[in-house]
Amino acid sequence: MEVSFSKEIEALRLKAGDTFHGEGILAITKALLQSGVSYVGGYQGAPVSHLLDVMVQAKPYMDELGVHVEACSNEASAAAMLGASIHYPLRGAVTWKSIVGTNVAADALSNLSSPGVKGGVLIVVGEDYGEGASVIQERTHAYALKSSMCLLDPRPDLGVMVNMVEHGFRLSEHSNMPCIMELRIRTCHVRGSFDCKDNQPPLVSTRALMENPAGFDYMRLAHPPVTFRHEKLKGDERLPAARRYIAENKLNEHFPGKHEGVGLIVQGGLYNALMRSLQQLGLADAFGATDIPMLVLNVAYPIVPEEVADFCVGKEGVLVVEEGQPEYIEQEIATLLRRRDIQTPLHGCDLLPAAGEYGVEVLSTGLAKFVARYLPEHSQDSAKGWLAGNQDRRAAVATQLETPLPNRPPSFCVGCPERPVFSALKLAQQDSGPVHIAADIGCHAFGTFEPFSMGHSILGYGMSLASRAGVSPMMQRRTLSIMGDGGFWHNGLLTGVQSALFNGDDAVLLIFKNGYTSATGTQDIISTPDDEVKERAVDKQQSLVDKNNTIESTLQGLGVKWLRTVHTYHVDQMRATLNEAFTSDFDGLKVIIAEGECQLERQRRMKPWIASLLKKGKRVVRVKYGVDEDVCNGDHACIRLSGCPTLTLKDNPDPLKVDPVATVIDGCVGCGLCGANAHAATLCPSFYRAEVVQNPKWHERLLHSLRGAVVRALQPA
Amino acid sequence: MNKTQPITLLVCALGGEGGGVLTEWLVDIARHAGYAAQSTSIPGVAQRTGATTYYIEVFPVPLAELGGRKPIFSLSPVPGALDAIISSELLETVRQIGNGMSAPQRTLVISSSSRTFTTAERMQPGDGRADATRLLDVIKSFSREHHVFDMGAAAREAGTIVSAVMLGAIAGSGLFPFPREAYETVVRGGDTSAPEKVSKMAAASLRGFAKAFDAVNGPREQAALVSRLMASTPEDTLPAHALPDSVANRFPPQLRGMLALGHARVLDYQDAAYADLYVERLQKVLEAERMSDPSAAGGFEVTHEMARWLALWMAFDDIVRVAELKSRRSRAERVRGEVKAGDDDIVKVYDHFKPGAPEFAALMPKPLARRITAWDRRRQSPWALPLQVGSHSVFGMASLRLLSSLRWLRKRGSRFAEEQALIERWLAAVVAGTRTDWALGHQIALCGRLIKGYGSTNERGKENLLHVIDHLAAAPLPDGSPAVRAQAIAAAREAALSDDAGKALDAALVRHGAPARPVKAQPIRWMKRPRAGAAAGARAGTTGV
What residues in A contact B261, CB-CB < 8 Å? 655-656
Residues whose CB falls within 8 Å of the CB of residue A594, separated by 6 or more in sequence, listed in order: A417, A418, A421, A510, A511, A512, A513, A566, A568, A574
Mark residue B159 as left, alpha or beta (left: phi above 0; alpha: psi -120 to 50; beta: remaining). Answer: left
Q: Taking CA A124 as the corner, what is the angle to CA A121 and CA A126, rounded to the nearest 5 degrees?
A: 160
What pLDDT is stored for residue B194 in this prediction? Answer: 59
What pLDDT is stored for residue B226 in this prediction? Answer: 54
The per-residue pLDDT for range B387-402, each reduced to its tens digit, is 889 999 999 999 999 9
Is the pLDDT at A389 greater than 50? The verdict is yes
Closest Cα to residue A167, out of A43, A89, A252?
A: A252
Beta-carbon separation of B453 and A634 below 8 A? yes
Q: What is the dihedral of CA B175, B180, B183, B187, to 10 degrees?
A: 140
For residues A525 and A490, what is the distance between their CA atoms, to the nearest angstrom? Answer: 10
For residues A441 and A457, what is the distance between their CA atoms, to the nearest angstrom? Answer: 10
Predicted confidence band of residue B456 (pLDDT cuts 50, 70, 90): confident
Q: What is the dihedral of CA B206, B211, B216, B222, to 10 degrees?
A: 180
Distance of CA B538 to the CA centre of its chain: 44
Identify the H or E element spanning B387.
strand B387-390
Beta-carbon separation of B78 and A361 below 8 A? yes
Q: Does A260 touch chain B (CB under 8 A)?
A: no
With beta carbons less than 8 A apart as the criterion, state whether A508 and A479 touch: yes
Beta-carbon separation of A626 and B78 below 8 A? no
Task: Write the residue in B122, B349, B524 that is nearest to A688 by C-beta.
Answer: B349
Beta-carbon separation of B345 and A693 below 8 A? yes
What pLDDT is stored for residue B444 in this prediction? Answer: 95
The strand pair at A479-484 and B540-544 is best described as unpaired
Identify the H or E element spanning B541.
strand B540-544
The per-residue pLDDT for range A194-220, each reduced to its tens digit, is 999 999 999 999 999 999 999 999 999
What pLDDT is stored for residue B528 in this prediction? Answer: 67
* B305 SS3 class: helix
For residues A74 and A71, what is the distance between their CA atoms, to the nearest angstrom? Answer: 9
For residues A475 and A468, what is the distance between their CA atoms, to the nearest angstrom? Answer: 11
> Mean pLDDT across the stretch A146-158?
98
For residue A617, give the DSSP letter: T
For residues A57 and A59, what is the distance between their CA atoms, to the nearest angstrom? Answer: 5
Task: Write the residue in A279, A411, A704 that is nearest to B48 by C-beta.
Answer: A411
A-proximal residues of B, 397-456, CB under 8 Å: 397-398, 401, 449, 452-456
Query: Which amino acid, one-letter code, is at A534?
Result: K
Burial class for A614, CB neighbours closer than 10 Å (0-12, 13-18, 19+): middle
Q: Does A706 touch chain B (CB under 8 A)?
A: no
Residues whose CB falls within 8 Å of the CB of residue A713, separated by 6 or more in sequence, listed in order: none
Select the more confidently predicted residue: B164 or B228. B164
Task: Write the residue in B392, B497, B530 that is nearest to A711 by C-beta.
Answer: B392
Predicted confidence band of residue B240 (pLDDT cuts 50, 70, 90): low
Residues whose CB falls within 8 Å of the CB of residue B449, separated by 6 or more in sequence, listed in order: A658, A659, B126, B309, B493, B497
> Mean pLDDT across the stretch A5-26?
94
For residues B331 and B202, what is the distance between their CA atoms, to the nearest angstrom? Answer: 37
Is the pLDDT at A302 greater than 60? The verdict is yes
With beta carbons less than 8 A apart as the criterion, state whether A560 and A589 touch: yes
Is the pLDDT at B218 greater than 90? The verdict is no
Q: How far is B21 from chain A (nearest CA, A)?
A: 12
- State the sign of the Cα–Cα–Cα–Cα dihedral A611, A615, A621, A625: positive
Closest Cα to residue A356, out of A129, A538, A25, A122?
A: A129
What pLDDT is stored for residue B113 in this prediction? Answer: 95
Query: Which amino acid, one-letter code, is at B253?
Result: P
Q: Does A648 touch chain B (CB under 8 A)?
A: yes
The per-residue pLDDT for range B311-353, each reduced to its tens digit, is 999 999 999 999 999 999 999 999 999 999 998 999 999 998 8
For residue A594, give the DSSP letter: E
Residues whose CB falls within 8 Å of the CB of residue B118, separated by 6 or more in sequence, listed in order: A406, A407, A408, B91
Predicted confidence band of residue A539 (pLDDT cuts 50, 70, 90): confident
What pLDDT is stored for residue B532 in this prediction? Answer: 56
The per-residue pLDDT for range A509-527, each reduced to its tens digit, is 999 999 999 999 899 999 9
Beta-carbon separation of A476 and B394 below 8 A? no
* B221 SS3 class: helix
Is the pLDDT at B238 greater than 50? The verdict is no
> Mean pLDDT across the stretch A270-290?
97
* A680 SS3 class: helix
DSSP secondary structure, A465-478, as one string: HHHTTTTGGG-SS-
For residues B484 and B249, what is the distance between their CA atoms, to the nearest angstrom? Answer: 36
> Mean pLDDT across the stretch B163-173?
96
Radius of gyration of chain A (CA): 30
Lowest mean pLDDT among A109-113, A382-386, B14-18: B14-18
Is the pLDDT at B45 greater than 90? The verdict is no
The per-residue pLDDT for range A308-366, each reduced to its tens digit, is 999 999 999 999 999 999 999 999 999 999 999 999 999 999 999 999 999 999 999 99
Q: Is the interface score ipTM higher than 0.85?
A: yes
Residues whose CB falls within 8 Å of the CB of residue A398, separated by 6 or more in sequence, listed in order: A404, B98
The per-residue pLDDT for range B78-126, each reduced to its tens digit, is 999 999 999 999 999 999 999 999 999 999 999 999 999 999 999 998 8
What pLDDT is stored for residue B46 in this prediction? Answer: 66
What residues in A contact B317, CB-CB < 8 Å? 631, 633, 684
Interface size A-B, in CB pairs within 8 Å, comes to: 382
Residues whose CB falls within 8 Å of the CB of residue B253, separated by 6 or more in sequence, listed in order: none
Q: Does A687 touch chain B (CB under 8 A)?
A: yes
**Selected residue of B123, B139, B308, B456 to mutate for chain A interface (largest A Cβ count, 10 A):** B123
For residues A513 and B190, what is the distance between their CA atoms, to the nearest angstrom? Answer: 42
Is the pLDDT at A76 greater than 60? The verdict is yes
For residue B515, give the DSSP letter: P
Burial class for B195, CB neighbours closer than 10 Å (0-12, 13-18, 19+): exposed
Task: Write the residue in B52, B98, B118 that is nearest to A394 by C-beta.
Answer: B98
Cα–Cα distances (Å) from B22 to A266, A393, B96, in that order, read 32, 29, 19
Q: How far is B179 from chain A (nearest CA, A)?
A: 22
For residues A502 and A523, what is the distance between their CA atoms, to the nearest angstrom? Answer: 31
Residues whose CB falls within 8 Å of the CB of residue A467, separated by 6 or more in sequence, listed in order: A438, A457, A459, A460, A481
Using a cut of 0.90, tell me whether the model's pTM lies above it.
yes
The strand pair at A253-255 and A294-297 is best described as antiparallel
What pLDDT is stored for residue A239 in this prediction? Answer: 98
Is the pLDDT at B189 greater than 90? The verdict is no
With beta carbons less than 8 A apart as the criterion, state whether B281 and B310 touch: yes
Beta-carbon separation of B354 and A682 below 8 A? yes
The per-residue pLDDT for range B264-298, each reduced to its tens digit, is 999 999 999 999 999 999 999 999 999 999 998 99
Q: Does A715 touch chain B (CB under 8 A)?
A: yes
What residues in A contact B76, CB-CB < 8 Å? 131, 186, 273, 359-360
What pLDDT is stored for residue A666 in this prediction? Answer: 87
Q: Does B317 touch chain A (CB under 8 A)?
A: yes
A-proximal residues of B, 278-307, CB under 8 Å: none
Tally of CB atoms within 10 A around A309: 16
**Selected residue of A296, A323, A408 to mutate for chain B interface (largest B Cβ count, 10 A):** A408
With beta carbons less than 8 A apart as the criterion, state whether A247 and A304 touch: yes
Beta-carbon separation of B452 and A633 below 8 A? yes
Task: Write the residue in B48, B138, B351 that is nearest to A400 by C-beta.
Answer: B138
Residues in chain A: 717
Predicted confidence band of residue B197 (pLDDT cuts 50, 70, 90): low
For residues A58 and A496, what is the distance between their CA atoms, to the nearest angstrom? Answer: 35
What pLDDT is stored for residue B235 in this prediction? Answer: 42
Lowest mean pLDDT among A432-436, A660-664, B184-188, B230-234: B230-234
What residues in A contact B49, CB-CB < 8 Å? 410-414, 645
- State the sign of the Cα–Cα–Cα–Cα dihedral B173, B179, B181, B183: negative
For residues A692 and A672, what is the distance between their CA atoms, to the nearest angstrom? Answer: 15
* A362 SS3 class: helix
Beta-carbon separation of B44 and A132 below 8 A? yes
Give the number of C-alpha atoms closer than 13 A to the C-alpha of residue A101, restricted to the C-beta side. 31
Q: Which ranges of B272-328 would DSSP assign to H, the alpha helix?
A: 272-292, 301-314, 319-326
> Mean pLDDT across the stretch A273-289?
97
Tally of CB atoms within 10 A around B133: 10
Is the pLDDT at B223 greater than 60? The verdict is no
What average pLDDT does chain A have?
95
What residues in B contact A587, CB-CB < 8 Å? 530-531
For residues B202 and B313, what is the distance between their CA atoms, to the nearest angstrom? Answer: 53
The per-residue pLDDT for range A443-494, each reduced to its tens digit, is 999 999 999 999 999 999 999 999 999 999 999 899 999 999 999 999 999 9
Query: Which amino acid, one-letter code, is at A119?
Result: G
Q: Does B346 touch chain A (CB under 8 A)?
A: yes
Radius of gyration of chain B (CA): 30
Q: How far is A649 from chain B (nearest CA, A)?
A: 6
What pLDDT is stored for residue B477 in this prediction? Answer: 79
Q: What beta strand segments (E) does A294-355 contain?
A: 294-297, 299-301, 317-321, 346-347
What residues in B contact A622, CB-CB < 8 Å? 339
For residues B395 and B98, what is the distance between their CA atoms, to the nearest angstrom? Answer: 57
* A507 SS3 class: strand
Task: Write the residue in A394, A409, A660 that is nearest to B129 by C-beta.
Answer: A660
What pLDDT is stored for residue B232 in this prediction? Answer: 42
Q: How far is A441 from chain B (nearest CA, A)?
A: 12
For residues A21 and A24, what is the distance between their CA atoms, to the nearest angstrom? Answer: 9
Instruction: Find, in chain A, the residue whose alpha carbon is nearest to that of B452.
Output: A633
Closest Cα to residue A84, out of A72, A76, A75, A92?
A: A92
For residues A268 and A252, what is the distance between their CA atoms, to the nearest angstrom? Answer: 8
The strand pair at B84-87 and B108-112 is best described as parallel
* A258 SS3 class: coil
- State the sign of the Cα–Cα–Cα–Cα dihedral A125, A128, A129, A135: negative
Q: Taking CA A685 as the corner, what is the angle to CA A679 and CA A688, rounded to the nearest 5 degrees?
A: 85
Q: Does A382 touch chain B (CB under 8 A)?
A: no
